[in-house]
Chain A
C-alpha cells in the first residue's frame, strides 16, 4: 500500500489536500470550513449548525430534493457536522463518482438560503434541540463549558438555544455565510482512491469564481474557572457527573502524551477508572477523554451512576486524579495504552473515510499532513516523563464540575 500526500491552492486561496491510496476501493472527500460556534456572537448563537442544515436545502442549480436525490443516486455515504470550530461536509463514494460528487458538494457550498426553506428547517433544528434536552447529559455539556470558560469563545453552544435559533433571520445567516465561507477559510480534503489531477480540475471548475473575503478568528487565551454546580432533575434515572479541566491544545506537542494519559486514567476499558469504578459495578460508565481545539484543550471526565453512589464516585475520581498527579503512572500502563492506541490507529486507517477525517483534521488544526506512520511514531516516542510533565502543567484536580440527576442536593 503506497500512500502519497498531494496539495494544491487555487488562485482565490482555496486549498486542496489529499492522501492518495491506489489500493483503496473507495474515496472520502469533504469540504472543511474553518467556522463553528466559537465564531458566533450571542445574537446569532447556533447559526453555524443551522447553516450546515441549510447547505443541503438547494442552490440556484438545484432544489433541496435534487440535492438529496443526487447524493443517493451516487450511492454516497454522506453527512455533515458542526463543532465549536469547524463545519464539515463529506461523502464516501466509489472512485468512478468522484466528478459528480465534487460537482454536487461544491455547488451546495454556495446555497440559496431561501426564506421558506429557512423557516421550515428552523422547525427541524428546534426539534433537534428538544431531542438533546431529553437525553443525558440534559444540556449540561453546554453548561459546563460556560462555567469553565466564562466568556471565552469555546464556551459557546453548537446548537444554540430555542430562543436564539427562533430569533435568527435568513439575512443574519446570509451575512455570516458571506464572511465565513470565503475560499481562504475553506479547504477540500480527500483520501483513498482519489484522482488528484482530476480533483484539482473539478474543484477549480466549480469554485474558482468564489469571491474571497478576509476572515478573522479570535483565539484568546482561555482564563478558565473552577466551580461546582449541581442540578436536580427528578425525572432522570441516573446521576451524571461531568468535569472539565484544561489540557494541551491542538497546536501543542504535548497532545500525544495527553491522549495516552487519558487512556491510562480513563479509557472505557482497562484504565484506572475502569478498574476502580466500572468493573466493580459502582458506575455505569466512568471515563476521561482529551479534546483539542485551537488555543485550548480539554480533559473531559464523564461519570454516570446511581444517585446514591454519586458522591462516593466523585470522591473516587478525585482520589485517582490526585494519585496520578502525585505518583504518576507505570511503564507497564504506558506500554498497554500505547498498544491499544496504536491498534486503533492501524485499524481505523484501513477505511478511506477515517483517513479523510484524519487528513482533514490535521490540515484544519495545523495545516500539516501527518501519515499513519507519523502518528504511530509520535505515540511510540511518548515517555513517562512526558506524561508526568502534562499532569504537572495541566492538573486534573483543577476542574469545573456539573452534576445532574435525581439527587436533590449534593452532599457536603
Chain B
C-alpha cells in the first residue's frame, strides 16, 4: 500500500490579462480529464426591474450559434469533443462549465470564447429562447421544495439579491432582441470574468491559448447594482399539496469573511451527516419528516443560513417548532465531538475533491471571485485542522442565530415561533 492518504501539493496558478479577465489553473497529471469553469459578470441581480429573467434568456441565446458555427453546429461540435457541459445564471455571474478528455481542452475553450464574445443572438430564435425560459419558470411551480426556497430567499435578502434566476413571465415575454443584445454588450465583459481550469494540462500552453482567445476582448463601463429593502410579502403561500414546506432563514457571514469557516462549521453541526442535530432531532427521534436540512448560502457581500423541512400538514407545526428550537439552541454553542465528526467529513471531502476536475475548476474560479486568490486544498485542510469548538462558540456568541425570516407553503397556515 502507498503511504497514508493526504491532500497532495497542487498549487493553483494565476494569470491576469490586461483587460481584467483572470485565469486560474490547477494542473495535475493524475487524471486524463480537464474541466473549465468560465464565469462572466452577467447575473440576475442586474436584470432591469421590468425585465426579470433577461440574464437567463441571454444565457440561452448565446448558445444558439457563435463565431463560425450556427446553433446546431455549436452543440454538435461540443458533443463530438465529448464535452459534458452545464450553464447556470447566478446572482452576479453566469457560469459555463465543461469537462472533457484533456486533449480536447484547447478546442473546447475556443468554442466557449466564441460563445461569450461572438454569439449570433439570432433574432429568428428569440421566441424559442423565450419559450425555453417560460417552460423552466413553470416547471418550478411543480417542485414545491424548490419554490419554497425561492420564496424564502426573496423574503430574507434585500432587493435585488433575493431574486430567482428564472425571472418572471412578463419580464421574459416583453424582452426584445435589441434588449438581449444590449444586455450582452454590457454584461459579457472581461472585467470580472474568471476562467478556472483544472486537470491534465500544461500551464504555459494554457496561458498562451487564453491570451490568444481573450486578450483583445474590450472592456465596458457599467453602473453598479442598487440595493433596496426586501419585499414585504406574506409569510404563508397557499398550495393544495400533501406536504407543507417550511423555510427559516437567518443572516450569516459571507465566504470572504474571516469568520466564514466558523459559521460554516456551525451549520455543519446543525446539518451535515446523519448524526447532525436537525437530522437527529427532527427525523430520527421524532419521525417528523423525510427531508430536513440547513445550508450556508453565500453571496460576495452577504450570506444567509437557509433551513428547509417538508412534512404532512398535521405534523407541520411540530416540525417547525422543533426545527426552530434547534436554531435557538445553536446559540449555546457546539461540542468538540460534533466538530471532530464534521472535520472528518470535510477532510475526506477535500481529498475526494481531488478526484473530480469539474469540482476543482468550479472551486478555484469561485475562490477567486470571493477572495481574489485561490486557496489550495492543502491550505483549506490546514484551516480545518486549526478550527476548534472554542472558535466556533466565540463566533456563535457574537453572531447568535437571530433576525429570522419564515416562509411556509402548503395547505394550512402555521403559528410562527416567537424569537426571544
Q: Which chain A residues have a beta carbon within 8 Å of chain B's beta carbons?
A: 22-26, 56, 64-65, 68-69, 71-77, 92-96, 120-128, 130-131, 133-136, 193, 195, 235-238, 269-270, 275, 278-284, 304-306, 335-336, 339-340, 342-344, 346-347, 350-353
A-B contact pairs, 27 of them (CB 8 A): A22-B2, A25-B5, A26-B351, A56-B274, A68-B274, A72-B273, A72-B345, A73-B341, A75-B345, A77-B345, A77-B352, A95-B1, A96-B4, A124-B283, A130-B312, A131-B310, A135-B144, A275-B72, A281-B127, A281-B134, A284-B139, A335-B80, A343-B82, A344-B82, A346-B32, A350-B356, A353-B352
Neighbouring B residues of A306 by C-beta, 8 Å: 135, 138
Contact assessment for A238 and B142 in the assembled complex, using a CB-CB cutoff below 8 Å? yes
B residues 120-157 near A (Cβ < 8 Å) are 127-132, 134-136, 138-139, 141-144
Supposing A127-B312, A135-B143, A344-B84 touch, asked if A68 and B75 sit within 8 A by C-beta, the answer is no
Contact assessment for A72 and B355 in the assembled complex, using a CB-CB cutoff below 8 Å? no
Neighbouring A residues of B280 by C-beta, 8 Å: 65, 68
A195 and B5 alpha carbons, distance in the complex (Å): 13
A182 and B101 alpha carbons, distance in the complex (Å): 42
Contact assessment for A237 and B290 in the assembled complex, using a CB-CB cutoff below 8 Å? no
Q: Would you give the shortest CB distance from B377 to chain A, in whole angstroms? A: 11
Neighbouring A residues of B136 by C-beta, 8 Å: 284
Contact assessment for B242 and A94 in the assembled complex, using a CB-CB cutoff below 8 Å? no
Contact assessment for B72 and A92 in the assembled complex, using a CB-CB cutoff below 8 Å? no
Bitwise interface map of B from 185 to 216 toward A, beta carbon under 8 Å scored 1, else 0: 00000000000000000000000000000000
Check: B417 CB closer than 8 A to any chain A CB: no
* Contact with B82, one of A71, A123, A339 (Cβ below 8 angstroms): A339
Contact assessment for A71 and B273 in the assembled complex, using a CB-CB cutoff below 8 Å? yes
Neighbouring A residues of B291 by C-beta, 8 Å: 131
Neighbouring B residues of A346 by C-beta, 8 Å: 32-33, 82, 101
Q: Would you give the shortest CB distance from A30 to chain B, in whole angstroms? A: 16
Neighbouring A residues of B288 by C-beta, 8 Å: 123, 127
Contact assessment for B345 and A124 in the assembled complex, using a CB-CB cutoff below 8 Å? no
Contact assessment for B241 and A92 in the assembled complex, using a CB-CB cutoff below 8 Å? no
Neighbouring A residues of B412 by C-beta, 8 Å: none
Check: B99 CB closer than 8 A to any chain A CB: yes
* Contact with B135, one of A22, A235, A281 (Cβ below 8 angstroms): A281
Q: Beyond A124-B290, A238-B135, A284-B138: 11 further Cβ-contacts under 8 Å?
A: A64-B284, A75-B349, A93-B348, A130-B312, A195-B1, A235-B240, A281-B127, A339-B82, A340-B79, A350-B356, A351-B355
Question: Which of chain B's residues has its CB closest to A343's CB?
Answer: B82
Neighbouring B residues of A125 by C-beta, 8 Å: 290
Contact assessment for A65 and B284 in the assembled complex, using a CB-CB cutoff below 8 Å? yes
Contact assessment for B138 and A130 in the assembled complex, using a CB-CB cutoff below 8 Å? no
Question: Which of chain A's residues has its CB closest to B83's CB?
Answer: A343
Neighbouring A residues of B130 by C-beta, 8 Å: 281
* Contact with B355, one of A24, A235, A284 (Cβ below 8 angstroms): A24
Contact assessment for B275 and A69 in the assembled complex, using a CB-CB cutoff below 8 Å? yes
A75 and B381 alpha carbons, distance in the complex (Å): 14
Contact assessment for B82 and A340 in the assembled complex, using a CB-CB cutoff below 8 Å? yes
Check: B357 CB closer than 8 A to any chain A CB: yes
Q: Would you give the shortest CB distance from A309 to chain B, in whole angstroms? A: 9
Contact assessment for A351 and B352 in the assembled complex, using a CB-CB cutoff below 8 Å? yes
* Contact with B340, one of A73, A128, A278, A352 (Cβ below 8 angstroms): A73
B residues 274-290 near A (Cβ < 8 Å) are 274-276, 279-280, 283-290
Question: Which of chain B's residues has its CB closest to A234's CB?
Answer: B240
A75 and B143 alpha carbons, distance in the complex (Å): 32
Question: Which of chain B's residues has its CB closest to A96's CB?
Answer: B4
A187 and B58 alpha carbons, distance in the complex (Å): 50
Contact assessment for B84 and A127 in the assembled complex, using a CB-CB cutoff below 8 Å? no
Ordered nearest first, which 10 A-B pairs have the shortest CB separation? A281-B131, A343-B82, A123-B287, A75-B344, A75-B348, A284-B135, A237-B141, A68-B274, A72-B273, A128-B290
Contact assessment for B312 and A347 in the assembled complex, using a CB-CB cutoff below 8 Å? no
Q: Would you give the shortest CB distance from A369 to chain B, in whole angstroms? A: 21
Neighbouring A residues of B273 by C-beta, 8 Å: 68, 71-72
B residues 299-355 near A (Cβ < 8 Å) are 310-312, 340-342, 344-349, 351-352, 354-355
Question: Which of chain A's residues has its CB closest to B72's CB?
Answer: A275
Neighbouring B residues of A133 by C-beta, 8 Å: 242
Supposing A25-B354, A238-B139, A343-B101 touch, asked if A269 and B284 sit within 8 A by C-beta, the answer is no
Contact assessment for A77 and B129 in the assembled complex, using a CB-CB cutoff below 8 Å? no
Check: B76 CB closer than 8 A to any chain A CB: yes
Supposing A127-B243, A131-B290, A237-B142 touch, asked if A279 and B71 sit within 8 A by C-beta, the answer is yes
* Contact with B5, one of A26, A72, A343, A347 (Cβ below 8 angstroms): A26
Interface centre among B128, B240, B276, B287 (most CB of A within 10 A): B287
Neighbouring A residues of B82 by C-beta, 8 Å: 339-340, 342-344, 346
Q: Would you give the shortest CB distance from A245 to chain B, in whole angstroms? A: 25
